[in-house]
């Protein structure tokens, strides 16, 4: 669970998204990552408090249904599906781009199709095969980032690859720290928060863990700290070694850092790692979306066909349906270059469209936890993993998320993706109230006083 959470969070958001955030706010992006990490930890503690009592698959969607209103459970499940399918699509687009490094003449859709088929088969085999695959994907990324941090500190402190002259950390302030002002800082915060999306996979995997209570506490406690170390450590090295206004124009900072130490194959190594990161993102997308699709089918909001399981207990048609949705990314990789010439811009457009739907689970986790406390005070008496300083921390975190969304609308680069996410949520809300609200209300009246988890 820890490696799945790490793998879902540490990915192309760091390897590809860091250049944009540094461009907007300069070295102060370090504070963005630290601030986002603090609020992310609070969100996961709120989720952990409820998961400790009710460790169920697709937890935050079920919590939203129970403690808020069924419409929020419905929106949370669909937001998770929409978010991860878009992430999978963006990763497939990235995979085609990365493979051009070794095979310049290869059409981008070919490696995309190979990746989707291979990952779908791995997910269909068993949940253990997904976990094993994600473990090794995550391990490759983690080892690379650790080596990057160690190599970078060697350049900063001892001058390795720099003629023995320590680079120091003067680049952090020499050309300004808050280079984009408050606006730039908040623009960057939105993308930073987006790059952290995926850690809530703990709440999707909880019901399939052998010892959920122990696993949940360990995963949340250790994962957040490691994510902060990896993200902040890597960004600290990058903005210390290179002037902030040169990053993005001089090539990948990861490649350049290894190249400084005389590793001539650095470009190929890093390209392999980011390819692995993209495969990891697609793998997580198939797993998470298929579980939420299964949950919606179980609630009668999708065809019962999606409830069919393989012999190993994997939801067959949900995995195939989600893989088909991600396949749209292959089509976009063929069509969008006729309208958008820069492959990086295509990736950012698709990836950023997942940020608003990806925040929906965070909003409902924070609100559900406050309702959980009011309805079940007896569960908190000997609870070893309570949300710190609730409800005040809930309100502060909700405010920060809301402000971040406002600045995403203000920012020209992220306005269209936010609108795409908002339109999707509006459409799904209308569908819910037209098709399901009356049935759900009758069901709640019939089962009044019963826990959803007792069904």
Q: Report which of residues 54 and 322 the model is more confident about.
A: 322
Reported for 298-303, long-range contacts at CB under 8 A and 24+ positions apart, including other chains, are 299/73, 300/439, 301/74, 301/435, 301/436
The reported pLDDT for the residue numbered 455 is: 42
Query: Per the structure block, which two tokens stand in for 447?
Result: 């089962």
User: In the predicted model, what is the mean pLDDT of residues 346-367?
Assistant: 85
Ordered alpha helix ranges (H), 172-265: 181-196, 202-205, 212-241, 253-260
3-state secondary structure of 309: strand
Q: Report which of residues 13 and 212 the model is more confident about.
A: 212
- Chain mean position to CA 345: 19
In the predicted model, is pLDDT for residue 56 greater than 90? no
User: In the predicted model, what is the mean pLDDT of residues 49-66?
Assistant: 81
The reported pLDDT for the residue numbered 115 is: 93
| Calpha distance 145→269 (Å, rounded) | 12
Confidence of residue 16 (pLDDT cuts 50, 70, 90): low
Per-residue pLDDT tens over the stretch 30-40? 999 999 989 98
In the predicted model, is pLDDT for residue 274 greater than 60? yes
SS (H, E, C) 358-379: HHHHHHHHHHHHHHHHHHCHHH
Per-residue pLDDT tens over the stretch 392-451? 999 999 999 999 899 889 888 788 889 999 999 999 999 999 999 888 777 766 665 454
Asked, as a colleague might, if the bond just before 18 is cis with ω within 30 of 0, I would say no
Mean pLDDT over the full length of the chain: 84
Burial class (CB in 10 A: 0-12, 13-18, 19+), 304: exposed
The DSSP code for 156 is I
Say if CB 317 and CB 290 are below 8 A apart: no
| Calpha distance 83→160 (Å, rounded) | 42
Confidence of residue 313 (pLDDT cuts 50, 70, 90): confident
The reported pLDDT for the residue numbered 61 is: 83
Per-residue pLDDT tens over the stretch 189-211? 887 887 787 777 666 665 566 67
Say if CB 379 and CB 371 are below 8 A apart: no
User: In the predicted model, what is the mean pLDDT of residues 70-80?
Assistant: 92
**What superfamily in CATH does domain 2-380+387-441 come from?**
Amino acid/polyamine transporter I (1.20.1740.10)
Q: Which residues is 315 bridged to in the sheet? A: 309
Say if CB 177 and CB 27 are below 8 A apart: yes
| Calpha distance 262→70 (Å, rounded) | 58
Per-residue pLDDT tens over the stretch 129-169? 777 888 888 888 888 888 888 988 998 999 988 888 899 99
Can you give the residue ranges of every domain in the chain?
A: 2-380+387-441
| Calpha distance 109→444 (Å, rounded) | 47
| Calpha distance 455→446 (Å, rounded) | 12
User: In the predicted model, what is the mean pLDDT of residues 374-402?
Assistant: 92
In the predicted model, is pLDDT for residue 8 greater than 90? no
Collect all residues with Cβ–Cβ distance below 8 Å to 182 and sequence separation of at least 6.
none
């Amino acid at each position: 669970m820890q490696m799945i959470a790490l793998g879902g969070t540490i990915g192309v958001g760091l390897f590809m998204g860091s250049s944009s955030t540094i461009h907007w706010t300069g070295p102060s992006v370090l504070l963005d990552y630290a601030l986002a990490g603090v609020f992310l930890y609070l969100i996961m503690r709120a989720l952990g408090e409820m998961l400790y009592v009710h460790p169920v698959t697709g937890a935050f969607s079920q919590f939203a249904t129970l403690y808020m209103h069924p419409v929020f459970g419905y929106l949370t499940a669909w937001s998770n599906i929409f978010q991860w399918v878009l992430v999978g699509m963006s990763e497939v687009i990235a995979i085609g781009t990365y493979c051009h490094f070794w095979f310049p003449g290869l059409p981008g859709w070919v490696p995309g199709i190979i990746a989707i088929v291979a990952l779908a088969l791995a997910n269909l085999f068993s949940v253990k095969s997904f976990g094993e695959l994600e473990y090794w994907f995550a391990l490759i990324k983690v080892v690379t980032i650790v080596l990057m941090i160690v190599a970078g500190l060697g350049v900063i402190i001892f001058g390795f690859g720099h003629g023995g002259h320590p680079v120091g950390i003067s680049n952090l302030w020499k050309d300004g720290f808050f280079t984009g002002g408050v606006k730039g800082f908040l623009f960057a915060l939105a993308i930073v928060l987006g790059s952290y999306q995926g850690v809530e996979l703990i709440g999707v995997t909880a019901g399939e863990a052998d010892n959920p209570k122990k696993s949940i506490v360990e995963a949340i406690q250790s994962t957040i700290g490691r994510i902060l170390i990896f993200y902040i450590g890597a960004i600290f090295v990058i903005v210390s070694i290179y002037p902030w206004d040169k990053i993005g124009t001089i090539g990948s900072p990861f490649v350049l850092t290894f190249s400084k130490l005389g590793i001539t194959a650095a470009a190929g190594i890093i390209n392999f790692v980011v390819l692995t990161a993209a495969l990891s993102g697609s793998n997580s997308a198939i797993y998470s979306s298929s579980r939420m699709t299964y949950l919606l089918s179980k609630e009668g909001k999708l065809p019962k066909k999606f409830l069919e399981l393989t012999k190993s207990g994997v939801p067959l048609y949900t995995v195939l349906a989600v893989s088909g949705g991600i396949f749209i990314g292959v089509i976009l990789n063929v069509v969008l270059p006729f309208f958008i010439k820069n492959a990086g811009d295509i990736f950012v457009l698709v990836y950023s469209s997942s940020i608003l739907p990806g925040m929906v689970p965070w909003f409902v986790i924070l609100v559900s936890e406050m309702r959980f406390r009011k309805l079940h005070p007896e569960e908190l008496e000997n609870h070893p993993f309570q949300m710190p300083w609730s409800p005040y921390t809930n309100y502060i975190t909700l405010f920060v998320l809301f402000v971040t969304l406002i600045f995403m609308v203000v920012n020209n680069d992220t306005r269209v993706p936010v609108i795409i996410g908002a339109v999707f949520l509006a459409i799904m809300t209308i569908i819910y109230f037209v098709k399901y609200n009356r049935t759900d209300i009758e069901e709640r009246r019939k089962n009044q006083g019963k826990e959803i988890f007792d069904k």
